[in-house]
Structure 1
Amino acid sequence: MLVLLPPSEGKANPDEGAPLKPGSLSLPGLTGAREAVLTELVELCAGDQEKAREVLGLSEGLRGEVAKNAGLPTAGTRPAGEIYTGVLYDALGLATLDAAARRRAEDALLVFSGLWGAVRVSDRIPSYRCSMGVKLPGIGALAAHWRAPMAEVLPEVAGEGLVLDLRSSAYAAAWRPRGEVAGRTATVRVLHAPTRKVVSHFNKATKGRMVRSLLTAGAVPADPAELVEVLRELGYAVEAEAPGKAGRAWSLDVLVEEVH
């Protein structure tokens, strides 16, 4: 099972840790694309701060993120699972998983990123600010930058099992499963059961809890149909829609009664 996650805008700032080693990150086929983004991002942020803030879409209150990006080559690093914070990651609670579930998380979880493309939760990275929606002056739109290298690397990473896609639309644009891989991919929406409306905050929390449930249960569903069965056994209300054509992903709706 491969679980595709979005990153978080907010990130922990490691006070110490070895500097970044781009070549040590998982998915080495992305190394060249990562180095290109890193180089331009650092140069941008080391120059005109106002221009950098505008390019990155940062408010005045986030001006400090520009300086942080400029120092990325020498910044301290921590495992990505400790860097990413926010609602989904709080609900996932990687730090409180038992050893077996933690190993499963390191094997199954893949976090998408505007800067790194995608990383494992065990990959050591610094805190940074660069969303997938950014358009760098030289490279251009990051989602487009990542499409070709992702198309080369991700099908092999997906292997032959289930792909559970929990990414937001901005990050999904960097890689869309095709063909046979798409047929064993499940995308998930979280809906308020009484109204059938998409929820926002509780969407992230529910996805985090759902992944935690799968990891702690040691569940390894082979395909979307089996995933539906497993989630229902774990207490989730799930409605599924199988694709009408080959090469399309399954759509799963997880229904919640409370929105908070």
Structure 2
Amino acid sequence: MLILLPPSEGKAADGDGRPLDLDALSFPALTSAREKVLDALTAVAHGPREEALAVLGLTTGQAGELAVDRELRTAATLPAARLYTGVLYDNLGLATLDTAARRRANRSVIVFSGLWGALRLRDRVPPYRLSMGVRLPRLGGLAAHWRPFLTDALGSERGLIVDLRSSTYAAAWRPPSPTVTIRVLREVDGTRSVVSHMAKATRGAVARSLLEQGTSPRSPRALAGLLRDLGHTAELGAPPRAGEPWTVDIVINT
């Protein structure tokens, strides 16, 4: 089983490792694509301030992020498991997993990134600011840039894929079957809706429960059943068309 996660906008700033070594990262087929994005991002960060803020979708109050992106090749690094913070990662709680669950996380979790393409949790990278939704000069949209490279790099991955990414990051790689997209819905008086904050928290909790339980479901139906056994209200939906992912709706009643 693979668990696909988005990154988080919030990131830890307490790097303590050697500067970035692209050749040491997982998925070496992504190295050339990473170089291109890294060069384009640092060029933007070193350029005119207002233009850089506009390209990266930052406010004036977030201008300090430009300094972070200017120092990517020399800044101290830290593992992706510690880098990403925010609601999903708070609820996933990687640091508090037991040893067996942490080993499963290192094997099965892949974090998608506008800058790095995809990372394993042990990969060491510096803090950065770059959303997959950004269009960088000369590279264009990042999802389109990454798509062929990720298809090549991840093509040999096997097993059921549990997709917890947001739509922005899901656009960068469409996994082969069997894939299950996890959706989170809140139900109030019979009406269902999506609430972003609650969805992130629930996705983190779902990922944690899958890592803690120790078995690896091999089919969408087995996954839905396992999630129900773990206490989630999980509803399985079949693919609308051949080749499309299955869905599991996690329904929260409030």
Superposed pair shares fold, TM > 0.5: yes
Q: Secondary structure at the match of 2:162?
A: strand
Aligned to 2:110: 110
For residues 239 and 192 of structure 1, the distance between their equivalents in structure 2, rounded to whole angstroms, comes to 13
- How many residues align structurally? 252
For residues 50 and 240 of structure 2, the distance between their equivalents in structure 1, rounded to whole angstroms, comes to 49
* C-alpha distance after superposition, 1:39-82 (max 9, x if no partner): 11112212222221111010011101001100000001100010
CA contact (8 A) 1:232 1:238 kept: yes
Aligned to 1:130: 130
* Cα separation, partners in 2 of 1:231 and 1:85, compared to 1, 3 Å: same
Q: Secondary structure at the match of 1:239?
A: strand
Aligned to 2:183: 189
* C-alpha distance after superposition, 1:173-205 (max 9, x if no partner): 11112xxx23x1000111113322112111111
For residues 254 and 12 of structure 1, the distance between their equivalents in structure 2, rounded to whole angstroms, comes to 29
Please provide the CA RMSD for this pair: 1.1
For residues 23 and 119 of structure 2, the distance between their equivalents in structure 1, rounded to whole angstroms, comes to 12
**Paired letter, 2:179:** T
* C-alpha distance after superposition, 1:70-109 (max 9, x if no partner): 0000001100010100000000000000111001001111
For residues 228 and 155 of structure 2, the distance between their equivalents in structure 1, rounded to whole angstroms, comes to 28
TM-score (norm: length of structure 2): 0.96
Aligned to 2:47: 47
Query: Structure 2 residue aligned with 1:169, among 161, 167, 170?
Result: 167
For residues 212 and 237 of structure 2, the distance between their equivalents in structure 1, rounded to whole angstroms, comes to 26
For residues 64 and 70 of structure 1, the distance between their equivalents in structure 2, rounded to whole angstroms, comes to 10
Where structure 1 has 5 or more consecutive residues not aligned to the other structure, the ranges are none
For residues 140 and 246 of structure 1, the distance between their equivalents in structure 2, rounded to whole angstroms, comes to 30
- 1:89 counterpart = 2:89: yes
- 1:217 counterpart = 2:213: yes
TM-score (norm: length of structure 1): 0.94
Provide the identity percentage: 55
For residues 101 and 193 of structure 2, the distance between their equivalents in structure 1, rounded to whole angstroms, comes to 32
For residues 5 and 16 of structure 1, the distance between their equivalents in structure 2, rounded to whole angstroms, comes to 24
CA contact (8 A) 1:219 1:230 kept: no
Aligned to 2:67: 67
Aligned to 1:200: 196
Aligned to 1:100: 100
Which consecutive segments of 4 or more residues in structure 1 shift more than 6 A? Answer: none
**Paired letter, 1:70:** R
CA contact (8 A) 1:14 1:126 kept: no
For residues 187 and 44 of structure 2, the distance between their equivalents in structure 1, rounded to whole angstroms, comes to 46
Aligned-residue offset at 1:244: 4.5
For residues 6 and 36 of structure 2, the distance between their equivalents in structure 1, rounded to whole angstroms, comes to 21
- 1:249 counterpart = 2:245: yes
Where structure 2 has 5 or more consecutive residues not aligned to the other structure, the ranges are none
Aligned-residue offset at 1:155: 2.2
**Paired letter, 1:249:** P
Query: Structure 2 residue aligned with 1:230, among 226, 230, 239?
Result: 226
* Cα separation, partners in 2 of 1:59 and 1:244, compared to 1, 3 Å: closer
For residues 51 and 70 of structure 2, the distance between their equivalents in structure 1, rounded to whole angstroms, comes to 13
